[in-house]
Chains A and B, each alone.
Chain A
Amino acid sequence: MDKLRYFVRQSWLLIVSSFCFGLLIAVTDAALSEKIEQNKADKLNRLTLLLLPGAKHFVPVDAQFEVGLGRGRSEKVTVYKAVGETQECVGWSFGAGGDGFSGRIELVVAVDADFGKLMGFEVLVSSETPGFGDRIKYDYYRNQFRGAPAGELKSVSTGSADKIDSEIVAITGATVSSEAVVNILNSFLGGVKNQMREEGFIGDGKGR
C-alpha cells in the first residue's frame, strides 16, 4: 500500500497530464480526420483528372488486385474506374510504384477504357537526382507514354521521341531512372490487365 502511495505521489502529474494530452489529441483528431481523408482523395482525383480529362468522378473497382514484382515481392493495387458525364467508362487508373535510382518512385497510371492504350502517368513520389532522373516528371519524357500501347514497353537510348509506340527514349544521363519507370509500368500494366481480364472487367467488349 505504501509503495503504491509513493508511486502515485511521484507520478501523479505524469498520469494526469497523459490523460489531458490524450484527450487533446483525440479531440483534434476527431475534428480534422475527415478533412485529411478528403485531401488524400482530392489529390488522387486531381492527378488522375489531368490524365483522363473526360472523367467526372472515380469509383474504386470492387475486387482485390495484386501485382508480382519479382524476387518474391508483391503489392496490392486499387484500380479506379473513371466515369464520364453519361455514366460511361472513360478509362481506368491505379497507383504503381517501384525502386528507382535513389529511392522509391510512385506513379499514378491511367489507361483507356479497354486497357489498350496508356493515357499517361503522373509522378506522385520520387527522389531522383535533380536535373537528371528528376526529369521523369517533365513533359518531354512523359508525353512519349501518352497513347503508347498498354503492354510491354521498352526503354531505348536513341530513337524518335515524337513517334508514339512501345519504344521509349530514355533521358540522357538518367538511364536507370528512365528504365525504372518503364519497368514499373510493365509490371503493373501486365499484372493489372491480366487480373482485370480474369475478373471480367475488360475484354470481349464487356465493360462492367
Chain B
Amino acid sequence: MDRLSVLLMGFLSMVLVNNFVFTKFLGTCPYLGVSGRLDSALGMGLAVTFVTALSGTLTWVVDFYILTPRGLEITRYICYIVIIAGAVQLVEMYVRRFFPSLYDVFGIFLPLISTNCVILGICLFIDIWGTDNLLEVVVLSTGVGIGFTLAICIMAGIRERLIVSDVPTCFAGAPITLITAGLLAMAFMGFAGMIR
C-alpha cells in the first residue's frame, strides 16, 4: 500500500507539480510548433508519451546494469541518444504494423521527436534523481509524457480561441503563445506543495 502511494504521488508530481514544460522548460519547440489544433496536439502528446515511457525505462536499465557498474558513465550521453533514436524507430515500426489507426493519429510526429528535449530530459533527470527502482522509473517516465500531453492540449485549446481574437499583429503567433504559456506556468505553480 505504501509502495503504491509513493508511485501514485510520483506520477501526480510529474503530471502536475513538476510538469516538464512549465517548470523545466523542456519540449518548448514542439510545444510552440504543434499546439495549433487540438487533434494534432493530442497526437503529438501521445507520441511523446509512448517514446518517453519506453526510452526512460530503457536508458535507466542500460545505465543501472551496464554503464554504472563498469564505470562507463562518460559514454552516458552518447548511449542515451542512440537508445532514444532506436526506441523512436521501434515505436514507429511497431505502431505502423500493429495499430494502423493509432499510427494515423500520431505517426508523423515520431521522427520529429527524437530530437525532443523532453525525451533526453527525462532520461537525464531520472539519472540525476538517483531512482533505483524499475517500476518507479516506468511510472515517472509515463507521468512526464502525460504531463506534456496535458500541457500541449490545454495550449491547443487556448490557441484555437486566440486565432479568432483580436491579437496585435506583431504579437500574433509565437509571442502571444509564449505569454500564454507563462500564464499557464503561473497557474500550474498552484500545484506546488500538493505532494508532501
Question: Which chain A residues have a beta carbon within 8 Å of chain B's beta carbons?
Answer: 21-22, 25-26, 29, 71-72, 99, 101-104, 129, 176
Across-interface contacts of A102 in B (CB, < 8 A) = 17-18, 23, 192-193
How far, in angstroms, from A148 to B12 measured CA to CA in the complex? Answer: 37
With A101-B192, A129-B192 as contacts: A25 and B75 at CB distance below 8 Å: yes
* Known A72-B2, A102-B17; contact A29-B74, beta-carbon cutoff 8 A: yes
B contact residues around A103 at 8 Å (CB): 18
Bound Cα distance from A146 to B78, whole angstroms: 46
B3 at interface (Cβ–Cβ under 8 A)? yes
Q: What separation, in Å, do the CA atoms of A101 and B129 have in the docked complex?
A: 16
* Interface pair A72/B3, CB less than 8 Å apart: yes
Q: Which residue of B lies closest to A128 (CB)?
A: B192
B192 partner residues in chain A, CB cutoff 8 A = 101-102, 129
Pairwise interchain contact A176-B2, C-beta atoms closer than 8 A: no
Q: Say yes or no: is B97 at the interface (Cβ < 8 Å to chain A).
A: no
Smallest beta-carbon distance A165→chain B, Å: 26
* 9 pairs of residues in contact across A and B, judged by CB atoms under 8 Å: A22-B75, A26-B74, A71-B2, A72-B2, A99-B195, A99-B196, A102-B23, A103-B18, A176-B196
Query: A71 to B6, Cβ gap below 8 A?
Result: yes
Given contact pairs A102-B17, A129-B192, enumerate 6 new A-B contacts (beta carbons under 8 Å). Answer: A22-B75, A26-B74, A99-B195, A99-B196, A102-B23, A103-B18
Please indicate the chain A residues that have their CB under 8 angstroms from the CB of B195 in the complex. Answer: 99
- Roughly how many angstroms separate A21 CA and B192 CA in the complex, as a whole number? 43
Chain B, range 117-170, C-beta contacts under 8 Å to A = 129
Q: Please indicate the chain B residues that have their CB under 8 angstroms from the CB of A21 in the complex.
A: 78
Size of B's binding interface in residues, CB under 8 A: 15
**A118 → B minimal CB distance (Å):** 24
CB contact between B193 and one of A71, A72, A176 (< 8 Å): that residue: A176
Q: How far is the CA of A176 from the CA of B192 in the complex (A)?
A: 11
A165 to B75, alpha carbons, bound, how many Å? 50
The closest CB in chain B to the CB of A26 belongs to B74
CA distance A25 to B3 in the complex (A): 40
Most buried by A among B2, B6, B192: B192
A101 and B193 within 8 A (CB): yes
A126 nearest CB across to chain B (Å): 13
Closest to A22 in B: B75
How far is B5's CA from A148's CA once the two chains are assembled, in angstroms? 35
**A25 & B2 in contact (Cβ 8 Å cutoff):** no
| 8 A-B pairs with least C-beta separation | A102-B192, A29-B74, A101-B193, A176-B193, A71-B2, A72-B2, A25-B74, A71-B6
* Residue on A nearest B192 in the bound complex, by CB: A102
- Minimum CB–CB distance from B87 to chain A (whole Å) comes to 19
**A103 CA to B23 CA, complexed, in Å:** 11
Residues from chain B with a CB closer than 8 A to the CB of A99 are 195-196
In the complex, A102→B18 CA distance in Å?
Answer: 8
Contacts of B18 in A (CB 8 A): 102-103
Which residues of chain A come closer than 8 Å to B23, judged between CB atoms? 102
A104 vs B125: C-alpha distance when bound (angstroms): 12
Query: Which residues in chain B, 1-24, are within 8 Å of chain A measured between CB atoms?
Result: 2-3, 5-6, 17-18, 23
Note all chain A residues with C-beta closer than 8 A to B196. Answer: 99, 176
Instruction: Tell me the complex Cα distance, A91–B196, Å.
Output: 32
